[in-house]
Amino acid sequence: MMKRTYIGERCTVARALEVVGERWTLLIVRDGLLGVTRFEEFHDALGIPRNVLTARLNLLVEHDVLDRVPYQARPVRYEYLLTAKGRGLAPVVRALLEWGDEHYSDDLPEPPTKVVHAGCGGRVLSRTVCENCHRPLASSDITAVRVTGG
């Protein structure tokens, strides 16, 4: 059985969720990946209360997921650009999109967002392979091992 201290202190899923484990936060990241950068654009796109949006943007800047960059001098105005760390959340958003498409698109003629290869427009497929034996892996082939000596 996992111990509370283990989970709270060392699990990097839990640490990651301290930053992004809240609905609005990942939607802000999703919009950032779609090219949204300005406060008013996030506000219009998400319909999020302004004070909540301010708090979430500040949190994401503090955790180096977004960079706050001036785009206008007088009066000074800022936009929010994903950092490399923030762009690193793309696989999380993509995995959520795939799960959402599978389970929450029955009422839609087709899933509303396609993730494609920018070069040729082909659909992007997620694959898992074994580093050791190079086999393609299904979910049932995959297990998690806790490193207790670490």
Q: Which residues, numbered 49-108, are part of the site for its own copies (CB under 8 A)?
A: 85, 87-105, 108
CA 114, CA 119: separation in Å to the nearest integer? 14
Residues within window 9-48 making contact with its own copies, judged by CB under 8 A: 10-18, 20-23, 26-27, 30-31, 33-34, 36, 41, 44-47
Q: Quick one: DSSP state of residue 136?
A: B
Residue 49 CB, shortest distance to its own copies, in Å, is: 13
CA 124, CA 121: separation in Å to the nearest integer? 9
Q: How many residues make contact with its own copies (CB under 8 A)?
A: 89
Residue 74 CB, shortest distance to its own copies, in Å, is: 25
Q: Which is nearer to its own copies, 74 or 136 (CB)?
A: 136
Q: Which is nearer to its own copies, 44 or 54 (CB)?
A: 44
Stretch (H or E) spanning 92: helix 90-103
Q: Which is nearer to its own copies, 78 or 115 (CB)?
A: 115
> In whole angstroms, how far apart are CA 68 and each of 58, 60, 61, 72?
9, 10, 7, 12
Q: Which is nearer to its own copies, 6 or 58 (CB)?
A: 6
Which residue in the set 72, 73, 75, 146 belongs to the binding site for its own copies (CB under 8 A)? 146
The owner of tokens 């779609």 is: 34
CA 57, CA 59: separation in Å to the nearest integer? 5
